[in-house]
Chains A and B, each alone.
Chain A
Amino acid sequence: MRVTVIDYKAGNLTSVLKALRHLGAETIVTDGDLALVEAAERIVLPGVGHFQATDRLDATSLTPAIRAAIARGVPFLGICVGMQWLYAGSSEAPAQPGLGHFSESTEKVPHVGWNSLEVRTGSRLLAGVEAGEYVYFTHSYKAPVTADTAATSYYIEPFAAAVERGNVMGVQFHPEKSGATGLKILSNFLAWKAGGAE
């Protein structure tokens, strides 16, 4: 299993790389080599930090390269800010557009800690995750619950803990820091193949 991990210089990648390698994946890191995105078998966009940092994806032309990869059916997983980037934008940096794959935007809600998931049936990313399993969150912005929401969590109000439509997936929590539950989710992503359930 080969995974291309996008480095946009926001926070550190060490934990995500470590977890992917632990699961047997070969990791390739790029901060702007478009050929590596064009050849990618699957893509992970990690992210901790400020939404504004995603402007680097535009500056390096990674945004159109990722858009093209998604259109080719390459499985894509955005983590935390990487998930928020899949939406139209964030009130954290109103002038900075996201990918717009999902049409909504993210709004402020500071939330740190372990919280439980309510998984919607049919999610391939979250297959095998039971209702009430806990994952680790640390974020200040959240996405609303919509038809594409794969799991919700509750903090002040329900929000999208995971989003999934076809080959495009995002998690607001940190699977690389969520113990056995998180590793199961990353493992599902690594096993994801076009054309239905495993």
Chain B
Amino acid sequence: MITKRIIACLDVHDGRVVKGVQFVDLIDAGDPATQAARHAREGADEIVLLDITATHEGRQTLLDTVRRTARELFVPFCVGGGIRTADDAAQVFDAGADKVSVNSAALKDPMLIDAIGRSFGAQAVVVAIDARRDPDAADPVRDAQVFVQGGRKPAGRRVVEWAREAEDRGAGEILLTSMNSDGMRTGFDCELTAAVSESVGIPVIASGGAGTVEHFVDVFGRGKADAALAASIFHFGVSSARSLKEELARAGVSVRLPC
């Protein structure tokens, strides 16, 4: 039976894992390779490394980080942040990533999704969407807006429509982050996740807001997510993927156990 995936996410800045609230106030949370290996050992089904460095010098640091992280990692490994061209993606794959996640560059040039998919397969392309509800809209969920630049600037696209276009262009998965709940530990945006999940045929990874086991049960049920991303819940020894999955199994969610 296919399981729901628990994905450990590492936000990386200048080669170090960092954690902030709503993308600001960053604090150091360790070495990416060490953290990734620990999450895999502790039962994470997949590792996502999101580079938030965004400087030109940072590119080489990132490739070095990817290489070190991938070396002893035998679960799926996705890398995002700063991938603007198919060549950027090729370098990251060559360094050992299995998937790349593209965000603002794909909004600027949607053909990027087609290009990476053609060369490396749809399974290798994750389109990351930073979403913010529009509180003034008639339907805050259906009208939720895509944001770029770390959630600072609206991209002028509706979330559900952009997800559908990404699938049509050959994306293999959607990584949906709710900017409203990111880092708040108050729960995922289940309504928005369900709206996207019902609109596409590819897996949807929910992100932003994980704080308790109940939040995960909720997003896999009501939110119709195929996978869920967690960062802060795993840092500083708060919990492990294994203990999270054991509790999910008790709540009736199908997960990979033992792991």
B5 contacts partner chain A, Cβ-Cβ < 8 Å? yes
Q: Is the CB of A11 within 8 A of B121?
A: yes
- Tell me the residues in window 119-134 of chain A with beta carbons closer than 8 Å to chain B beta carbons: 134
Q: Chain B residues with Cβ under 8 A from A10's Cβ?
A: 121
Residues of B within 8 A of A182 (CB): 74
**B98 and A22 contacting across the interface, CB-CB below 8 Å:** no
Complex CA gap A48/B76 in Å reads 13
- Which residues of the partner chain A approach B120 to less than 8 Å between Cβ atoms? 11-12, 48-49
Asked if B71 CB lies within 8 Å of chain A CBs, one says: yes
Contact of B121 among A48, A111, A114, A176 (CB under 8 A): A48
Distance from A189 Cβ to chain B, minimum over Cβ atoms (Å): 15
Size of interface on A: residues with Cβ below 8 Å to B: 33
Judge whether A178 and B3 touch: CB under 8 Å. Answer: no
- CB contact list, B112-126 vs A, under 8 A: 119-124
Contacts of B172 in A (CB 8 A): 112, 138
Tell me the chain A residues, 133-190 only, with Cβ under 8 Å from chain B. Answer: 134, 136, 138-140, 154-155, 174, 176-180, 182-183
On whether the beta carbons of B75 and A177 are closer than 8 Å, the reply is yes
How many angstroms between the C-alpha atoms of A129 and B79 in the bound complex?
30
Cβ–Cβ < 8 Å partners of B18 in chain A: none
- Chain A nearest Cβ from B2, distance in angstroms: 5
Instruction: Point out the residue from A15, A113, A116 that lies within 8 Å of B226, measured CB to CB.
Output: A113
Could you give, for residues 40-70 of chain B, a 1 whenever the CB lies within 8 Å of some chain A CB and a 0 otherwise? Answer: 1000010000000000000000000000001
Q: Most B CB atoms within 10 A — which of A10, A12, A139?
A: A12
Docked Cα-Cα span, A114 to B2, in Å, equals 6
Q: Are A154 and B123 in contact (CB under 8 A)?
A: no
Contact between chains at A48 and B74 (CB < 8 Å)? no
Classify chain B's interface size: 20 to 34
| Smallest CB separation, B152 vs chain A (Å) | 31
* In the complex, residue of chain A having the shortest beta-carbon distance to the beta carbon of B173: A112
Interface status of A14 (Cβ within 8 A of chain B): yes
CB A112 to nearest CB in B, in angstroms, measures 5
Contact status of A179 and B74, CB under 8 A, knowing A14-B96, A113-B2:
yes
B2 touches A110 (CB 8 A): no
Whether B30 sits at the interface, judged by CB under 8 Å, is no
Interface pair A113/B94, CB less than 8 Å apart: no
Which residues from chain A contact B121 at a C-beta distance below 8 Å? 10-11, 48-50
Which residues of chain A are within 8 angstroms of B201 by Cβ–Cβ distance?
Answer: 110
A48-B120, A136-B75 in contact; A114/B94 too (CB < 8 A)? no
B87 at the interface (CB under 8 A from A): no
In the complex, whether A101 has a CB less than 8 A from a CB of chain B is no
CA distance A49 to B122 in the complex (A): 7
| Contact across chains for B75 and A179 when beta carbons are under 8 A apart | yes
What mask results when residues 1 to 32 of chain B are scored 1 for a CB within 8 Å of chain A, else 0?
11101000000000000000000000000000
Question: Are the CB atoms of A140 and B98 closer together than 8 Å?
Answer: no
A140 and B122 form a contact (CB under 8 A):
yes
Provide the bound-state CA to CA distance between A136 and B172, in Å: 15
Q: Is B110 positioned at the interface, with any CB of A under 8 Å from its CB? A: no
Instruction: Give min CB distance, A155 to chain B, whole Å.
Output: 6
Of listed A10, A15, A154, A155, residue having the most chain B CB within 10 A: A15
Report which A residues bind B (CB closer than 8 A): 10-12, 14-15, 18-19, 22, 48-50, 110-116, 134, 136, 138-140, 154-155, 174, 176-180, 182-183
Given contacts A11-B121, A19-B74, 17 further A-B contacts (CB under 8 A): A11-B120, A11-B124, A14-B96, A15-B98, A48-B123, A48-B124, A49-B121, A50-B121, A113-B2, A114-B2, A114-B256, A115-B3, A139-B123, A174-B76, A178-B74, A178-B75, A179-B74
